[in-house]
Amino acid sequence: MPPSPALPASFQRLAWSNLTAQSAEQIALAAAPIVAVLALGVGEGETGLLQTALTAPFVLFAIPAGLLADRMKRRRLMALAETLRALALLAILIALAGGVLTLPLLAALGFAAVCGTVVFSVAAPALVPSLVAPAQLAPANARIELARTIAFAGGPAVGGMLVGWIGGAPAFGCAAALSLIAAICLSGIAEPDRAPLPRRHPLADIREGATFVLRHPLLRPVFMTQFIFNTAHFLLLAVFVPYAVHRLGLSAGGIGTVLSMFGVGMVCGALLATRILRRLPFGTVIGLGPVTGFAAALVMALTTLIPSPALAAVSFFLLGAGPILWVISTTTLRQSVTPAGLLGRVSAINILSYGARPLGSLLGAILGGRYGADACLYAAAVIFGLQALVILSSPAVAIARQPEPQPA
């Protein structure tokens, strides 16, 4: 496959907007619990409630965001979402600087800020196909994911350092400024017009999007695989820290180093994604992510017999590198097989797979409490094996090349 031409200017603006928006999100997500503990003096249970408030919008508002993304200009919707996030973060800054910030207020404003994140996450993949040629979808998605992985890997560290160096209020101010920059970048995007959808009940629109995904021979196994992967991943994460301390003998710094390999793997995978997609059949790349996830789980399970921090680091590297290829290839697949008028709702259905994350954490709490961490790692390996089996037995892995885009 020959190299695709340079990505157009409108997409470049989207890419920069994505980088600043993702950075704002990660800095704010890192700063919120630190401020809650250091400035508000809350304990572990209360920080757990804060984290719930900061993750709930992904389940509650993904579908409404998808409906909006299919009924209005996606660029405008994303700009409004970033403005909402900036205003919420500025309100946290003002409340903190004025000494009136409380945990319920922090949770409420954080909830509002994450609602902006959800809208951006749903609308951005739906906007990309209107800005680039079909042959450029994979490189464009790789660019988007590279920005996300850089923010994911560096944002928490930057957020923690900002709080430590200059305080919580300036840290939220920095995140708010990044959100405003993201909104400004979006204002310069020339988004083509789409045919308006017929007016009907929102439930009919939701049913149309869900039916499309669940009946599509390629998208259905992709959704199932992603849901199972999230369950297994968060089952592993739920027990890793105590396991690392008690069985691997790691200090806090050692745990941070091992966990950082996940971000390193994501960045490496995103950097190599375009080359891999040029050299391998499209379906093979789709299968690489789940298979690599299974391999990572087996390596982690091996640490129960060989308690090596190096093996744990390899496991997290694989968990980052392989699945990022999955995200890029399956996002390209969804954009190719989904009509333009359905892209927002289909993206929203994909976001709903995040609902498996608390399920995996709960499973870790139950299994870990009753049978110990070893049982959790073995169960995670089995579940990772199941998600690999689902995708490998589907027609998605047999696709030779990226499908032709569907008409609106």
pLDDT in tens, 344-393: 888 888 887 877 767 777 777 788 778 888 888 999 999 999 999 999 99
Q: pLDDT band at 403, cuts 50/70/90? A: confident
Torsion angles phi and psi, residue 220, rounded to 5: -60, -50
* Across 100-109, 193-202, 267-276, 392-401, least confident range: 193-202
The answer, yes or no, to whether residue 190 has pLDDT greater than 60, is yes
Task: Give the percent of the chain with pLDDT over 90.
Answer: 29
- Residue pair 405/336 in contact by the 8 Å Cβ criterion: yes
Q: Which residues contact 9 (CB under 8 A, 6 or more apart)?
A: none
Give the model's pLDDT for residue 381.
95
Q: Domain 8-189 carries which CATH code?
A: 1.20.1250.20
Give the model's pLDDT for residue 221.
94
Give the model's pLDDT for residue 1.
42
Domain ranges of the chain: 8-189, 203-403
Top pLDDT among 384 and 260 is at 384
Q: Which residues contact 146 (CB under 8 A, 6 or more apart)?
A: 267, 270, 271
Q: Do domains 8-189 and 203-403 have the same CATH topology?
A: yes
The answer, yes or no, to whether residue 23 has pLDDT greater than 80, is yes
Rounded Cα distance between 334 and 213, Å, is: 9
Q: pLDDT band at 45, cuts 50/70/90? A: low
Q: What is the mean pLDDT of residues 335-342?
A: 86
Average pLDDT, the chain: 84
- Exposure of 26 by Cβ count < 10 A (0-12 exposed, 13-18 middle, 19+ buried)? buried
Q: What is the mean pLDDT of residues 175-182?
A: 92
Give the model's pLDDT for residue 259.
76
The answer, yes or no, to whether residue 47 has pLDDT greater than 70, is no
Q: How many helices and strands, by DSSP H and E, does the chain display?
A: 15, 0
Q: pLDDT band at 287, cuts 50/70/90? A: very high
Top pLDDT among 289 and 243 is at 289
Q: What is the mean pLDDT of residues 324-344?
A: 88
Rounded Cα distance between 383 and 236, Å, is: 10
Q: pLDDT band at 2, cuts 50/70/90? A: very low
The answer, yes or no, to whether residue 229 has pLDDT greater than 60, is yes
Looking at domain 203-403, its CATH architecture is Up-down Bundle (1.20)
Task: Give the percent of the chain with pLDDT over 70.
Answer: 90
* Across 140-144, 289-293, 389-393, 400-404, least confident range: 400-404
Q: pLDDT band at 154, cuts 50/70/90? A: low
Give the model's pLDDT for residue 408.
55
- CA count, 13 A, side-chain hemisphere, 114: 24
Q: pLDDT band at 27, cuts 50/70/90? A: confident
